[in-house]
Amino acid sequence: MNVTTYKFYMNGEWKESSSQQAIEIYSPYSLDLIGRVQAITREEIDEAISFAQEAQKNWKEVSLQDRAQYLYKWANELMGMQDEIAEIVMKEVGKSLKDAKSEVARTADLIRYTVEEALHMHGESMKGDSFPGGSKSKVAMIERVPLGVVLAIPPFNYPVNLAAAKLAPALISGNAVIFKPATQGAISGIKMIEALHKAGLPKGLVNIVTGRGAVIGDYLVEHKGINMISFTGGTNTGTQLAKKAAMIPLVLELGGKDPGIVCEDADLQEAAKQIISGAFSYSGQRCTAIKRVLVHESVANKLLKILKEEVEKLSVGSPEEGNTVVPLIDTGSADFVQGLIGDALEKGATLVTGNKREDNLIHPTLLDHVTIDMRVAWEEPFGPVLPIIRVSSDEEAIRIANESEFGLQASIFTKDINRAFAIANQIEAGSVQINGRTERGPDHFPFIGVKGSGMGAQGVRKGLESMTREKVTVLNLTK
């Protein structure tokens, strides 16, 4: 089979690295070699950053309307390449073709919405005399200006959408971008940049740097030419990144252990539907997956019965056949999930269904009677295993929910809106969903992680704000 070696993109050109080394990318489900990407050198990173700095000087002067036109074209080009990109996403990160196509369409929508939001944002002005002793003759004009060169590091699970969620706000706001895709996801990222190249984006504004995180990751993060970092990925990597980065703005979207809290008065059928979709779509490889259920013991058996029936209906297998539960991204991930299941079973959890493995494919697994001494009660599996923890009160559910190191999202299932708010108000998380699964979208909602789940915020407007800073110009009138 003819395997492509993809070039990296710098200063508007596709290049081979002087390292003459390439990283092999294997499909997580067929285990076939699907392509190679350049393992670029530190010197090439320096070059890419200088090109970005140079390009940004002109770009920040380009009118917002003109910048918008490039991004609209990018969205159109992406849709023109939808099938081609989706095919690569499927092969590279093992997402079903339907989901991969939706990811591309969601990305085009996200880019367009980001442009429109930016076009409608405006600064403000303040008069001096509203402060005691201040004078009317002082007027402050407050506007948002770009930060410079943004380092965008998306994760493997949304190699297109979460990359564009960083690139689009950066570019429309007048920044240049150094785009470091996840190694597994790099070909999808390259394809996305092909669409941007076709859109005619001025050279140097976006440079894609591929290579092993272990080799170029720290170098990029610590580089003096980087003015802001937007990272989505694991909590450990994010925490290390935050320690190493210079004094620059950071937005970190990290892991989660989102609880689904089920009260006695919940619509159990609906709650189960949301929990199953929240926990098992794309094999639970979403930071926002429901990763534990905290159910009132009086309805636990009933809920379990429905969950078991629904889990057993989930389609399992290759993403090429459109299955929901697909092989995990790599063997290490599958081993980790298997370890969590094993630990829980050893410590007395009840296996309701699942715990079958074929290579990287872990069958959807439900564990009942999970207790807080089990690793699966606290650790993020990023795989298709759902622990059920029985609780005796809302207070206990809130306590266990908050004892987690993470604070991304939480779901509460109840028919009593006052109770829902009473619980929601006490949950330490960026977002709380009432009677719905945990999820980031729609993409213009603020998306926030607290505690080990991150810092800063994403979501269209928040993305734009995070990639700009306020600048104040004060007019001192003489009359």
Residue 283 lies near ligand G3H (rule: CB under 6 A): no
Residue 103 lies near ligand G3H (rule: CB under 6 A): no
Residue 348 lies near ligand G3H (rule: CB under 6 A): no
Q: Spell 180-219 as b/e; 16+ CB within 10 A means b.
A: bbbbbbbbbbbbbbbbbbebebebbbbbbbbbeeeebbee
Residue 363 lies near ligand G3H (rule: CB under 6 A): no
Residues 236 and 64: their CA atoms lie apart, in Å, by: 37
Residue 251 lies near ligand G3H (rule: CB under 6 A): no
Residues 157-176 vs ligand G3H: string with x where CB under 6 A?
xx------------------
207 Cβ neighbours under 8 A, 6+ residues apart: 8, 9, 10, 11, 48, 49, 51, 52, 176, 177, 178, 179
Residue 352, helix vs strand vs coil: strand
Residues 332 and 354: their CA atoms lie apart, in Å, by: 19
Q: Which amino acid is at 78?
A: L
In the complex, minimum distance from the CB of residue 186 to ligand G3H, in angstroms, rounded to a whole number: 17
Strand ranges across the sheet with 124-127: 124-127, 138-146, 468-476
End-to-end CA distance of the chain: 78
Residue 96 lies near ligand G3H (rule: CB under 6 A): no
Active-site residue among 44, 92, 117, 253?
A: 253
Residues 152 and 200: their CA atoms lie apart, in Å, by: 20
Q: Is 4:35 a contact under the CB 8 Å cutoff?
A: yes
| Residue 405 is a catalytic residue | no
Among 100, 178, 287, 391, interactor with ligand G3H by CB under 6 A: 287
In the complex, minimum distance from the CB of residue 55 to ligand G3H, in angstroms, rounded to a whole number: 28
Q: Which amino acid is at 223?
A: H
Contacts with ligand G3H: how many residues (CB under 6 A)?
Answer: 8
Residue 188 lies near ligand G3H (rule: CB under 6 A): no
Residue 235 lies near ligand G3H (rule: CB under 6 A): no
**Residue of closest CB approach to ligand G3H:** 287
Q: Is 154:162 a contact under the CB 8 Å cutoff?
A: yes
Residue 95 lies near ligand G3H (rule: CB under 6 A): no
| φ, ψ at 133 (rounded to 5°) | 80, -5
Residue 291 lies near ligand G3H (rule: CB under 6 A): no
In the complex, minimum distance from the CB of residue 462 to ligand G3H, in angstroms, rounded to a whole number: 13
Residue 414 lies near ligand G3H (rule: CB under 6 A): no
Residues 419-458 vs ligand G3H: string with x where CB under 6 A?
--------------------xxx-----------------
Residue 411 lies near ligand G3H (rule: CB under 6 A): no
Q: For ligand G3H, which is the closer residue by CB, 342 or 441?
A: 441
Residue 286 lies near ligand G3H (rule: CB under 6 A): yes
In the complex, minimum distance from the CB of residue 427 to ligand G3H, in angstroms, rounded to a whole number: 17
Q: For ligand G3H, which is the closer residue by CB, 157 or 338?
A: 157
Instruction: Name which of 83, 111, 84, 66 is nearest 201 in CA terms.
Output: 66
Q: Extract the runs of DSSP E, i.e. beta strands, from 284-437.
A: 290-296, 350-353, 357-358, 361-362, 365-368, 385-391, 406-407, 409-413, 431-434
Enumerate the active-site residues. Answer: 253
User: Residues in the site for ligand G3H, rule: CB under 6 A?
Assistant: 157-158, 286-288, 439-441
